[in-house]
Homo-oligomer: A and B are copies of this chain.
């Protein structure tokens, strides 16, 4: 990991300072008209109805505090509360028409504030701003994702593999048979490795490393959740796998990809993988790659 230059740190801090001071008001504060911030946020978060439990998780509030706020909003006629149909312990909260009106109004104000801000920019500058915002957001998201080594049998690992299987089953014309997935023991402990990428606690990607033969590792099942694509996460997973492989003494890594996964092929090429002859008979392999590792 390269040390972070102070210039970058300063730039980020300066931006943060400026942004929170100038724009931080945009969504939150005083858009909730005569309403305390907490209540305004709660109202907004309810959306098309939610259970108190969900809201507690999403907003990170104390149960008692939330219960009281919900009661206040109910007394004001903004929300309706009912017992959750599936579980009588849970309370379901929904917006009343009045509540919906207020949320809409809140949104309208936030939108008007944003529009007012953009108004004095020329059209080309607005486009430039939007593009730069997207870049910042993409990179901040990527920075917030951690790629962790987990046991191949861990629930998160299996959940990622299931999602991976479902994903490519839909993309491969011939479908995908889950028996082709790595077995947990192949990618655990001394035999292999499994990485899961987490964004705010949720698994959003994975990648597996297993031993193909002495000195040669194989990369399998590099997958990124649809919500986390186009961030550059696959590359990070790949880097984690390569670092792990090098640490384990592998001198080369191989992998195969399916003909339909053209982006994947491009990424592997860009990351230094070169096409080779098939190294094993594999149902879904159309392209075969290898990269020599420099320790």
Residues of A within 8 A of B (CB): 1-2, 4-9, 11-20, 22-24, 26-28, 110-111, 114-115, 117-121, 123, 125-130, 132-137, 139-146, 232, 236
Chain A contact residues: over half helix, strand or loop, or mixed? helix
Judge whether A232 and B117 touch: CB under 8 Å. Answer: no
List the B side residues contacting A236 at CB < 8 Å. Answer: 120
* A117 and B136 contact, Cβ closer than 8 Å, known pairs A5-B126, A8-B130, A12-B130: no
**Residue of B at shortest CB range from A19?**
B19
* A232 and B125 contact, Cβ closer than 8 Å, known pairs A132-B132, A133-B136: yes
A7, A117, A134: which has the most chain B beta carbons within 10 Å? A117
Subset of 7 A-B contacts with CB under 8 Å: A4-B126, A9-B111, A11-B130, A18-B137, A22-B144, A125-B232, A128-B135
CA A14 to CA B13, docked complex, whole Å: 20
List the B side residues contacting A145 at CB < 8 Å. Answer: 120
* A139 and B128 contact, Cβ closer than 8 Å, known pairs A28-B20, A115-B4, A145-B120: yes
